[in-house]
Amino acid sequence: MTNEAATLIAEQAMGSAPIIVTGSGPRVRIYCAYDEDATDGSKAKENALTFDATSGDWAVSLPCPAEDLSWVTSSLADKGSRVTARDMSLGIKLSQCDGEADDSTTVATKSSTISVDWEAFLNR
């Protein structure tokens, strides 16, 4: 996994799409700072976690440019099932992060179809 992750970091995939770590606690998103943002550190948020992100049944999803997805996915599959790659332009599959049945719908897709009845929510 080290070579694959290092390649994706060098390609700056984590500048716009996060590494996502899921486990028994809250979902953790990890971005990387590049260029001037990395030099001055003004946008860095490096707070310590108050829990073990890899306790229980954990998984890591790495963002990957579409042109590298095939070889990165294949290489990671040879090393185990906990670390996977996803197209960095898509969201994470619900089955990867919430233990739901595997389907092809992503969180980004589902969240765009949710509507909130604000009157009912605010009890007006």
State the pTM of this model: 0.70
List of residues 6+ apart from 13 with CB closer than 8 A: 62, 63, 64, 65, 88
pLDDT exceeds cutoff 50 at 103: no
> Model confidence over 1-26: pLDDT tens digits?
788 999 999 999 998 899 999 888 88
φ, ψ for residue 122, nearest 5 deg = -90, 5
Q: What's the chain's Rg over C-alpha atoms?
A: 17
What pLDDT does residue 99 have?
46
Nearest to 61 by CA among 101, 95, 35, 38: 95
CB 46 within 8 A of CB 78: no
Length of the chain in residues, anyone? 124
What pLDDT does residue 108 have?
47
Task: Name the residue type at position 32.
Answer: C
Between 50 and 68, residue with greater pLDDT: 68
